[in-house]
A and B are shown apart, each in its own frame.
Chain A
Amino acid sequence: DAEITQSPRHKITETGRQVTLACHQTWNHNNMFWYRQDLGHGLRLIHYSYGVQDTNKGEVSDGYSVSRSNTEDLPLTLESAASSQTSVYFCASSETAAQETQYFGPGTRLLVL
C-alpha cells in the first residue's frame, strides 16, 4: 500500500544546531507540503513543492528550507534551530488538483532546548 512516512518521530536538539526532518511518500504525488502544528494555531504551512526542483515558501517559512530532488522525498531543514521551532511537524502529499485530498504522515515531534 502507498504511504507517507516521516523520520525521526521524535527529536531533541539544541539551539543553533542544524536539523533535517525526512519525509518520504510512495503515492507518486507531485505535490508535497510541510506544516507545523502548535496549540491555538492549527496547522500552518511552512514550505511546499509542486514537483521535482520546485519549492515555494509558505506562511511561516523563516528559518526553514526544503529541497526536492526526486518525486518521493521532501526533507525539511532547520538551518539553526531556535526554541520557537519546538513543534510537531507534519508532511503531506497530494495529487495536482486543488480539490484533491492531502495525505498526511504521522508527524515528527521536535524539541529545541
Chain B
Amino acid sequence: GNSVTQMEGPVTLSEEAFLTINCTYTATGYPSLFWYVQYPGEGLQLLLKATKADDKGSNKGFEATYRKETTSFHLEKGSVQVSDSAVYFCALSDSHNQGGKLIFGQGTELSVKP
C-alpha cells in the first residue's frame, strides 16, 4: 500500500541555518505530493505541493522537488527563522483515488533557536 516516511525529529537548528527534512514515499501510479505545516495549537496548513515528476513546489522560502526516480520529496530552506518552528508533515494523494485522501508521514518537529 501507499506510505510516506519522514526523518525523525525533533530537529533543532540555529537561526539562519540550512534546513533539510527528508521525505520518501511508496505509491502506485503518479501521486501528488504535499508538505503541510502545523504551528503550535493550530490545524495544518498547506506549505507547498507538486503534482508531477520534476515539479518544484515553493512557498515562504521553502522548496521541495518531486523526484520520481528516488521516490522523494525533501523539504529545504536556505535560512530558517525562529518563526519556522513548527511540525512539518509530508503527505501524498494517490492519483487513482477520487478526491485526494491524504496519507501522512509521522511529522517532523522543527525548533529554531535565536
Using CB atoms and an 8 Å cutoff, list the residues of chain A in contact with chain B.
Answer: 30-31, 33, 35, 40-45, 48, 50, 58, 90, 92, 94, 96-107
Contacts and interface: CB of A to CB of B under 8 A. Distances in A.
A98 B95 contact: yes
A90 B43 contact: yes
Interface of B: 31-32, 34, 36, 42-46, 49, 51, 89, 93-107
Contacts, number: 70
A41 B103 CA distance: 11
A97 B100 contact: yes
Contacts of B103: 45
Given A98-B32, A98-B94, A43 B44 contact: yes
B24 to A, nearest CB: 14
A104 B103 CA distance: 15
A50 B99 contact: yes
A74 to B, nearest CB: 13
Given A101-B49, A104-B36, 17 more contacts: A43-B44, A43-B89, A45-B102, A45-B103, A50-B98, A90-B43, A96-B99, A98-B98, A98-B100, A99-B32, A99-B95, A100-B100, A101-B34, A101-B46, A102-B46, A105-B43, A107-B43
